[in-house]
Structure 1
């Protein structure tokens, strides 16, 4: 049995609630004013006036600044810096008009779910184990999460036949699949997708008419010699596909990487393959939050346009960056070695992001003890670990791995001295735990 591929993303196929509502202070008149201002900037003298006078908002400005500086998708000059950074990274052009600066990646992800999801009959493909933001935002916006499993035995790789099976089953149940979420490097699993895997995903989504929602917030956190980060946009363009062939939304954030500025709330999404009619609706939706914070906008522009060779700050920037990345890798290796040496625990090689996701094979007596307490085995283990050592990890069940398996997610972020002190405590606890429940 065959099913039609997903409809292309147009103003007619997005969530119609977004189209129906109006917000005239930033409505069509203002959008047209922005287009005219761009025309004035690019072609001086082409219009019978030399400036746009914005009388649309009650937005007091200090020091003579005009409201135009607070475009709802982000300050123009900062979007240009982000676009230049993307182009330098990928080797393909990026347009500032396709960049939305946001209060972190989370708000961008929520906006896209609000745009794509029309009802519970719309599904979004998501990886398992997953980052719970995706399932939560899909549910909150009334859609249906369609999970596909990553394969632990192949280093949390993505098998395209598994995704195809999930897509076909979902369509057979009556769902319309709008998009596929891919997290690369992975959270919580810490893998980096191979270029071959990415090419398979691009071909699959192009054929099936799916939007690729590319969570690329850990793009600076790659720690394996035989892989490097490649954006999905770069992969698609390298295959010869442009915006007419495939829709891709890439998310990035200042919270991750070697910078780790979580409290600054800076991020962006780059929209590729959406028409101007959809971009206008997204602008209207973004207008409801007035504008992303300026400090976050500035910081994400600096992340994408860091000091370059010849700049005064270049040498110290590179020293600090290398020190941070080298230390993160050292910490990851120490924790991976520790987990891999524990009885009944396996831990895939750390490749990227900030987490290890070791699997626990616990004694049956421990599993029964967890059942008596009404919790899953990984929650039981994590509680005991915290109570005995003060080490707080996240039970893997919160990320929905394959049923019947137990994991924990452990960040690599504690300092080197802290991890050195932590490892013996972890080892002693685990040995005592296994002895207690060995039976």
Structure 2
């Protein structure tokens, strides 16, 4: 008998599911292989992935300045070659020199300090301070391989996916009644999977709740650049707490940022950071110990995290091209979000809240009872049943809302806004045609 089997493996492994790369995506990959081996076997010729926030896999181009600096840091011997100035911008060359001077051995293949390279943390702290208007300490920065926390509560769909304090109090009371002592609250803002941007007053309510209940506020802010409506602005939770008069001794806040989202989309580089504030030295020591177990995060990701928080400035050679690339990506994302939002709201039985930010929409779909019963017969959830049908008929990959948690009796799916702009019309037309057919098939 094999030493490891489904009978002996940890049962938590068997129960673990990751919706954005779950059953629907596995099926999509199989269909993609089928299209390669048997062209014309399906009523579509390509898979349109709308399941995961992975911009460059769908054609988004990296920011030139960032990649120039990375290339020079990875191959420093070309810094002094005369032809380099014809290939790379002068500010990218200078930034690479500055960064290499801070790396042990001037080598991106070397381990760094477990918190991350000090000079890069200095740059990130300066960027945070410039963004928020409050001091930031580089010693509070821990550079990480990306940022992936989770969410423990329901949002209020009727109020544009706001985080109602009444819901937090309900979850808090429910946990306490079960003998559970909550230690932290995770808030994703702008939101995933819902795409909302929290109002500043809502954020203040959340900060007050965490202060009152003694909770650590874990602020996932990786979509901070992705805000598409003028009436909403991104405010970091640390900034909100400080503006309310709460200092480090009053509330513990851990803020997360990543190079995977925003306009940069450098998912494969696995760069990010957390800013840890409001903890005593004994807890900081434990956090550092855990960081040390993994030695350090990858150096390319560390460099990118510093560049994201300290991009070219007005007057730098790369500033105009950098600004044009950044604005082009964000304005395109805004158009794509609006187009998809409008398309969803035109579908029978589908409602979609405003696309305020992040990279996702989370439409609610009211499925016919006949479809719900067909899903039960197929031993799956109704939203998964719909998404499976959509994939098989159109090649579009959505993620069922049940993979994220949704209010009992409601059904949703998550759709990214990331397919390139020239692909969005195909998403809309294929979805619209399928939805009409689906609703007719299962109409009572």
Q: Aligning the two structures, in what range does the TM-score lie when normalised by the shorter sequence?
A: 0.7 to 0.9
**1:329 equivalenced with 2:371 (yes/no):** no
Q: Secondary structure at the match of 2:397?
A: coil
Match of 1:350 among 330, 352, 355: 355
Structure 2 stretches of 5 or more lacking a match? 1-103
Match of 1:264 among 269, 293, 298: 269
Match of 1:120 in 2: none
| Post-superposition CA distance 1:261-299 (Å, at most 9, x none) | 000000000001011221111111111111111000000
| Post-superposition CA distance 1:193-237 (Å, at most 9, x none) | 000000001111111111000010100001111010000000000
Match of 1:396 in 2: 401
CA distance in 2, matches of 1:65, 1:91: 32
Q: Secondary structure at the match of 2:241?
A: helix
CA distance in 1, matches of 2:428, 2:413: 15
CA distance in 2, matches of 1:367, 1:381: 9
Say what the alpha-carbon RMSD is for the aligned residues: 1.6
Q: Secondary structure at the match of 1:224?
A: coil
Match of 2:155 among 142, 150, 166: 150
Number of matched pairs: 341
User: What's the offset of the Cα at 1:172?
Assistant: 3.0
Question: For the structure 1 residues 370 and 283, does the alpha-carbon distance in structure 2 shift closer, same or farther, using more than 3 Å as the test?
Answer: same
User: What's the offset of the Cα at 1:344?
Assistant: 0.5
Q: 1:83-232 residue pairs with structure 2 within 5 A?
A: 83-106=125-148, 109=149, 134=150, 147-232=152-237
Match of 2:94 in 1: none
CA distance in 2, matches of 1:349, 1:176: 35
CA distance in 1, matches of 2:124, 2:425: 38
Question: For the structure 1 residues 64 and 333, does the alpha-carbon distance in structure 2 shift closer, same or farther, using more than 3 Å as the test?
Answer: closer
Match of 2:364 among 356, 359, 368: 359
**1:75 equivalenced with 2:75 (yes/no):** no
163-172 vs 375-384, greater mean Cα deviation: 163-172
User: What's the offset of the Cα at 1:165?
Assistant: 2.1
Match of 2:304 among 299, 304, 317: 299
User: What's the offset of the Cα at 1:312?
Assistant: 1.3
Match of 1:309 in 2: 314
**1:433 equivalenced with 2:438 (yes/no):** yes
CA distance in 2, matches of 1:314, 1:330: 24
CA distance in 2, matches of 1:63, 1:318: 29
TM-score (norm 1): 0.76
CA distance in 2, matches of 1:207, 1:358: 34
User: Which structure is higher in RCO with an 8 Å CA cutoff and minimum separation 6?
Assistant: 2
| Post-superposition CA distance 1:164-202 (Å, at most 9, x none) | 122123223322110111110010000000000000011
| Post-superposition CA distance 1:71-114 (Å, at most 9, x none) | 101000000001000000000010000000011113xx5xxxxx
Q: Secondary structure at the match of 2:153?
A: strand
Q: Secondary structure at the match of 2:256?
A: strand
Q: Secondary structure at the match of 1:410?
A: strand
User: What's the offset of the Cα at 1:311?
Assistant: 1.3
Match of 1:412 in 2: 417
CA distance in 1, matches of 2:105, 2:404: 46
Question: For the structure 1 residues 63 and 433, does the alpha-carbon distance in structure 2 shift closer, same or farther, using more than 3 Å as the test?
Answer: closer
Q: Secondary structure at the match of 2:212?
A: helix
CA distance in 1, matches of 2:233, 2:165: 20
Question: For the structure 1 residues 65 and 394, does the alpha-carbon distance in structure 2 shift closer, same or farther, using more than 3 Å as the test?
Answer: closer
CA distance in 1, matches of 2:393, 2:206: 44
Question: For the structure 1 residues 173 and 318, does the alpha-carbon distance in structure 2 shift closer, same or farther, using more than 3 Å as the test?
Answer: same
Match of 1:37 in 2: none
CA distance in 1, matches of 2:254, 2:341: 32
Match of 2:380 among 355, 365, 375: 375
